[in-house]
């Protein structure tokens, strides 16, 4: 009985130690520049595979990626069976082009780690012709939508700064839903207010939004296109 009890205590000790090792990761691996930098890198380097165009289908890829102790990323294996349509090859090519990540830290030591990345490939049908009138043509949807370079939260903080500090307006809060176009250079065009639930005038909302600067343009089949978008602003 004494031997069995000792063995059980030793087993529990080893199990506890193993759990401590597994959970000792202080900081996970990070893409250099953060989420916005990752989105921009994806926009510039990930394409819908030509081999899959005939299927006109959407597809999701999940892949286990190893980030070694110096930040090199490499594919370990795909979560689902290969499609045979070129999606996996496109993801492999995309990951091979990645810059070095900031490696994970285990007890403050750069270490190898694994992450799961998900990729959504969306097919836009050819019959989805550009909308609009006059010479400006735009799309309502795109493979990768346009986005503000520094992120939504940063945009909201900037608008609050313009309203309260630059314009020195006494507005306690509110929201405004706007509609606008992002052209192929990232410029904001045709900004208009759809719904204003605040004491701030439409013109002030538009001025504050436009003064935040250009966006990253949307992509359709790996090409920059004009895209119409709606957004809820708040202060």
| CATH number for the domain that contains residue 79 | 3.30.2420.10
* 133 found inside a domain: no
CA distances from 22 to 31, 61, 118 (A): 22, 27, 23
Estimate the share of the chain in helix, then strand, then coil, as percent rounded to the nearest 5: 30, 35, 35
pLDDT at 136: 63
* pLDDT reported for residue 95: 94
Within a domain: 162: yes
DSSP 131: B
Q: Are residues 178 and 113 in the same domain?
A: no
Per-residue pLDDT of the chain (235 residues; tens, 9 = 90+): 333 433 333 333 333 333 333 334 478 899 998 877 888 888 888 888 888 877 777 888 889 999 999 999 999 999 887 888 889 999 999 999 999 999 998 888 999 998 888 888 877 655 444 555 445 677 888 888 999 988 899 999 999 888 888 888 888 889 999 999 998 888 888 889 999 999 888 888 988 898 888 899 998 888 888 999 999 999 8
User: For the chain, what is the domain count?
Assistant: 2
Give the pair of three-digit tokens for residue 35.
């989420």
What pLDDT, on a 0 to 100 scale, did the predictor assign at position 207?
A: 87
State whether 163 and 221 are in the same domain: yes
How much is the pLDDT for 98?
Answer: 94
pTM for the model? 0.46
User: Does residue 134 lie in a domain region?
Assistant: no
What pLDDT, on a 0 to 100 scale, did the predictor assign at position 131? 55
| Cα dihedral 86, 87, 91, 94 sign | positive
Residue pair 156/234 in contact (Cβ under 8 Å)? The answer is: yes
Distance of CA 3 to the CA centre of its chain: 56
Residue 84 backbone phi and psi in degrees, to 5: 75, 10
Q: Does one domain contain both 32 and 112? A: yes
Residues 24 and 61 in one domain: yes
- Structural domain containing residue 60: 17-121
H, E, C per residue of 7-31:
HHHHHHHHHHHHHHHHCCEEECCEC
- Partners of residue 94 on adjacent β-strands: none
Under a CB-based contact definition with an 8 Å cutoff, are residues 165 and 158 in contact?
A: no
Which residues on adjacent β-strands are paired with residue 19?
Answer: none
What's the CATH number where 194 sits? Answer: 3.30.1150
178 and 93, same structural domain? no
Backbone φ and ψ of 105, nearest 5°:
-110, 125
Does 12 map to a domain?
A: no
Domain shared by 88 and 177, yes or no = no
């Amino acid at each position: 009985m004494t031997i069995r009890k000792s063995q059980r205590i030793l087993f529990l000790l080893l199990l506890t130690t193993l759990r401590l090792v597994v959970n000792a990761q202080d900081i996970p691996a990070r893409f250099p520049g953060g989420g916005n930098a990752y989105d921009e890198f994806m926009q510039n380097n990930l394409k819908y595979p030509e081999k899959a165009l005939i299927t006109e289908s959407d597809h999701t890829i999940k892949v286990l990626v190893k980030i070694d102790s110096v930040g090199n990323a490499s594919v370990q294996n795909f979560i689902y069976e290969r499609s045979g349509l070129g999606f996996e090859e496109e993801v492999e090519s995309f990951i091979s082009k990645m810059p070095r990540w900031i490696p994970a830290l285990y007890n403050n030591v750069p270490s190898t780690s694994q992450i799961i990345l998900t990729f959504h490939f969306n097919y836009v049908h050819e019959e989805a012709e550009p909308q609009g009138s006059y010479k400006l043509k735009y799309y309502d949807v795109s493979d990768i939508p346009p986005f503000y370079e520094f992120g939504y939260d940063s945009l909201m903080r900037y608008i609050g700064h313009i309203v309260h500090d630059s314009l020195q307006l006494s507005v306690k809060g509110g929201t405004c839903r706007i509609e606008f176009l992002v052209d192929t250079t990232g410029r904001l065009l045709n900004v208009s207010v759809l719904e204003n639930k605040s004491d701030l005038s439409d013109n002030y909302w538009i001025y504050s939004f436009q003064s935040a600067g250009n966006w990253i343009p949307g992509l359709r089949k790996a090409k920059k296109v004009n895209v119409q978008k709606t957004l809820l602003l708040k202060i």
